Structure 1
Amino acid sequence: MPFDEHFHWRRKNALRLYRHISGELSGSPPREERLTRFQLHRAALMLRVWDGVESGEPRRLIASILINEKVRTLRALDWKNAPERRRLSRILAAARERIEGGYLRWLVPRARHQLHDVDRKT
């Protein structure tokens, strides 16, 4: 386990995992480590979009299932300009970013994010 700025959180979670594997009560994660309802919803949406694209489904079909069923009947020109198409692209870009390492931000407690965000702004 690396001894870095996240050591405290890694150690706590490693101990929780050990207790869980050993059949002991591991307890729920601390509030600051839990994903918000929005983050959980967004993560599920990103995974569903990513899985759909990776399995070769047309993006319009994915958008019609996950965002707005009416896009299925749009003309090609209307689909090119549809807000659902742009939203799907943003969700897919966010999924790609999370897959390439951005998921680590979800593993760091929110209070730390706020501190790091303040540091970046100054």
Structure 2
Amino acid sequence: MPPEKDWRAPSDQAGDDALQYSDIAIGYLSRNARYRSDYRRALGRVKRGAISADNATASLVRRWGISYHTAPASAFDPRLAVARPDLSPANIVVAPALAGIGAEPLDVRALGDVRARIRIGDFIHVILADPDGDEHLCVCGSCQGPMAVMLPIGPDPFARLASAERLCRRLNGMAAGPPALRPPPFRREHLLTLLQVLDGHEAGATQRELAASLIHRKVRRYSAAEWVESKERKRIRRWLAEAVELRDGGYIRLLRGG
């Protein structure tokens, strides 16, 4: 898990308009004890030279759907989180084009700052740095030949189309614009608050302490009977259940923008 901070402090990402659902999803997964154990074990193998960082990352991504890159020098770096392309429509899949459709090679160097190139199975996962929200390309095959953007037939077609449009804008020398899968401000604030609930719970805070810090400080003045019957107690219990469900698998929905 990333370096710990006081769970009562608001998230540094609270006002970040570039925050995407995938950024929040990796935050929930990073609080899953089984994932943390898998990730640290993978880091250890990379440090010993038993496996490459890319192969270790690929294994984690296949199992968990998303993972931090396992390069020891940048462990737990949220900017290097990689999601499976079938789960995240924010990923733009680029592959060799069919003959005769007039496609051109893809010059990755012309796309601007590349944050990372990570091999995930048959793909090279390219993360393009963007202040409005990084772009993630899944490149299959050599970029030297004609390439095309794939738009899989299935769920999330419009989110995938919007992601592809960002790439097309960049290829034409334009600003990519904001990503499609960004939570609206209210949803973002709620999801980040639930992360505080998880952190506080893991730190040993009682439900009453969580409610007093995250809902209203008046909870501290309640009698025992008032607390048991309070709406704040019911809300924090709902929040805790929702946060645990997101940590233990529900984060996959966030990858799809849910």
TM-score (norm 2): 0.36
Q: Work out whether 1:10 is the aligned partner of 2:10.
A: no
- CA distance 1:5–1:21, shift in 2 (3 Å): closer
Report the number of matched residues. 106
Instruction: Give the distance between the partners of 1:7 and 1:87, measured in 2 at CA.
Output: 30
Structure 1 or 2: larger strand share? 2
CA shift in 2, pair 1:70/1:108, >3 Å: same
Distance apart, 1:87 and its partner CA: 0.4
Is the partner of 1:31 in helix, strand or coil? Answer: coil
For the pair 1:39 / 2:187, whether they are aligned, the reply is yes
Give the helix-richer structure, 1 or 2.
Answer: 1
Q: Is 1:21 matched up with 2:116? A: yes
Query: Which blocks of at least 5 consecutive residues in structure 1 are unaligned?
Result: 114-122
Q: Which structure has the larger Rg over C-alpha atoms?
A: 2
**Equivalent residues of 1:63, 1:71 under 8 A apart:** yes
The answer for unaligned runs of 5 or more in structure 2 is: 1-57, 63-83, 94-107, 118-126, 134-177
In the TM superposition, residue 31 of structure 1 has moved relative to its aligned partner by: 3.1
RMSD between aligned alpha carbons?
3.1
* Counterpart residue number, 1:101: 249
Structure 1 ranges of 4+ moved more than 6 A: 1-4
Deviation at 1:26, TM superposition (A): 2.5
Residue 118 of structure 1 corresponds to none
- TM-score by length of structure 1 reads 0.70
- Percent sequence identity is 30
* 1:104–1:7 Cα change, 3 Å: closer
